[in-house]
């Protein structure tokens, strides 16, 4: 090889490395700007793998604009500003609030207008405030143990693996949107959970799995890698839902209802009954509540903002009375409090008032309404506990 050829080859290598580095910098800048400015999300990971629950919060996670955080995860993995001790302090009444994203209190994201739910605007924060105002001599802890995307069977693993060790007095379940309106008789809560990102990568390793693993490692320091993983996991979840969806097309309403009744018994009802039975066996009280949804709100009461993004889901509207009855019967059998939160959102008091930030997530006003509705049941259980 001539001297000129060596120089040209060296220049080509340098040029390639320069362009490669430039491309990486551009991708990183794009990822960070898109996450922080468009989605208004943190460039750090909020979730990590969990052996029992599939995924969990990263302790210490924070999300905000540099001036104030709208989400903080404490060292225990709960959405709470202060840490809590496993050993319950004296004169403390400890409540865990469980559910999915609506219970957790997440920010909305495109295509919906971005709205943030701050720590004092979550349902648990409002409920804790109400209890402390009525009983100032008692230390109430209403702890947000809800995790975005969680279904009722993940509560089971959470209760058994961690929450029982915190010696709770009461657990409130706030569920509905994620798994209660199932109409697919073949759906399996455990096998068909859509958030099993690593399942096929571990069972059938390949090049794409290697790339994803590298991105997982890079996500510790890279906003682009963090964005890529979020996109990939959502992409996988949607693709998986297309095959193992909770709801499927039925020829008529009778078929939809019949399929739901069959599926409910082996999915969420079984999980709910398991969860409350575990608590009862450990002398822990429970409240089962059915979360409100935009599609179940009277359209005449919607705010102008809510009307703009309303997507009528006939399946949910059709199955709501049956889901309500199923939960009522289960709670009656278990001698538990059941709170249906749908009717309160249809009271004319709230006409034209915005209570949702998208199809099921609540704004501050909606969260406060839920807390006030739950308060009476919590208050009754607390008063009865004093008599024992």
Domain range for 17:
1-38
Of 124, 121, 247, which Cα lies nearest the Cα of 182?
247
Instruction: Say yes or no: 31 and 50 in one domain.
Output: no
Pairwise CA distance, residues 303 & 121, whole Å: 20
* 311 alpha carbon, distance to own chain's centre: 20
In a domain, 236, yes or no: no
Whether residue 148 is found in the same domain as residue 293: yes
DSSP 88: P
Q: Count other C-beta atoms under 10 Å from residue 337's C-beta.
A: 19
Question: Is 220 contained in some domain?
Answer: no
What's the number of domains the chain is made of? 2
Question: pLDDT value at position 241?
Answer: 58
211 within some domain: no
From first to last of the 388 residues of the chain, give the pLDDT tens digit. Answer: 566 565 557 777 888 888 888 888 888 888 888 888 877 888 888 999 998 999 999 999 999 998 999 999 999 999 999 999 999 999 999 999 999 999 999 988 878 888 999 999 999 999 999 999 999 999 999 999 999 999 999 999 999 999 999 999 999 999 999 999 999 888 888 887 777 777 778 888 888 888 888 988 888 888 888 888 888 887 887 776 555 577 778 889 999 999 999 999 999 999 999 999 999 999 999 999 999 999 999 999 999 999 998 887 889 999 999 999 999 999 999 999 999 999 999 999 999 999 999 999 999 999 999 999 999 999 999 999 988 7
The pLDDT, as a whole number, for residue 243 is 52
User: 212 lies in a domain?
Assistant: no
> What CATH code is carried by the domain that includes residue 122?
3.40.50.1110
Cβ neighbors of 264 (< 8 A, separation 6 or more) are 180, 182, 322, 323, 326
Query: Does 219 fall in a domain?
Result: no
Q: Are residues 100 and 26 in the same domain?
A: no
Among the listed residues 172, 1, 278, 371, the one whose alpha carbon sits nearest the alpha carbon of residue 10 = 1
Strands 337-340 and 285-290: parallel
Considering the domain boundaries, does residue 287 fall inside one?
A: yes
User: 72: part of which helix (H) or strand (E)?
Assistant: strand 69-72
Burial 98-121 (b: 16+ CB within 10 A, else e): bbbbbbbbbbbbeebeebbbbbeb
């Amino acid at each position: 090889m001539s001297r000129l050829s060596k120089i040209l080859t060296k220049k080509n290598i340098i040029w390639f490395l320069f362009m490669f580095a430039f491309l990486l910098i551009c991708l990183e800048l794009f990822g960070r700007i898109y996450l922080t400015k468009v989605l208004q999300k943190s460039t750090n990971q909020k979730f990590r793998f969990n052996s029992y629950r599939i995924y969990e919060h990263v302790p210490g996670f924070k999300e905000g604009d540099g001036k104030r955080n709208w989400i903080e995860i404490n060292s225990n993995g709960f959405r709470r500003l202060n840490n809590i001790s496993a050993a319950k302090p004296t004169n403390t009444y400890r409540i865990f609030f469980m559910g999915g994203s609506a219970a957790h209190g997440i920010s909305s994201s495109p295509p919906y207008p971005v709205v943030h739910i701050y720590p004092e605007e979550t349902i648990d924060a409002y409920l804790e405030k109400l209890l402390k105002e009525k009983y100032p001599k008692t230390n109430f802890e209403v702890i947000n143990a809800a995790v975005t995307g969680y279904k009722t069977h993940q509560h089971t693993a959470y209760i058994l693996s961690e929450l029982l060790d915190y010696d709770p007095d009461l657990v409130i379940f706030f569920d509905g949107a994620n798994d209660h309106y199932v109409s697919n008789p073949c759906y399996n809560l455990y096998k068909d959970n859509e958030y099993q990102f690593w399942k096929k990568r571990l069972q059938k390793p390949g090049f794409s799995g290697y790339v994803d693993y590298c991105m997982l490692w890079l996500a510790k320091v890279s906003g682009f890698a963090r964005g890529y993983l979020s996109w990939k996991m959502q992409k996988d979840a949607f693709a998986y839902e297309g095959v193992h969806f909770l709801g499927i097309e039925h020829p008529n309403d009778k078929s939809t209802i019949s399929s739901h009744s069959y599926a409910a018994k082996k999915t969420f009802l079984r999980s709910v009954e398991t969860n409350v039975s575990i608590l009862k066996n450990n002398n822990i009280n429970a409240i089962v509540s059915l979360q409100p949804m935009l599609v179940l709100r009277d359209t005449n009461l919607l705010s102008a903002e809510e009307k703009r993004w309303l997507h009528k889901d006939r399946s949910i509207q059709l199955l709501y009375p049956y889901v309500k009855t199923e939960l009522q019967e289960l709670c009656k059998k278990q001698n538990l409090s059941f709170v249906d939160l749908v009717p309160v959102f249809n009271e004319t008091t709230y006409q034209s008032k915005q209570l949702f930030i998208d199809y099921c997530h609540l704004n501050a006003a909606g969260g406060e309404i839920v807390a006030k509705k739950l308060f009476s049941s919590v208050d009754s259980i607390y008063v009865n506990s004093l008599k024992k």
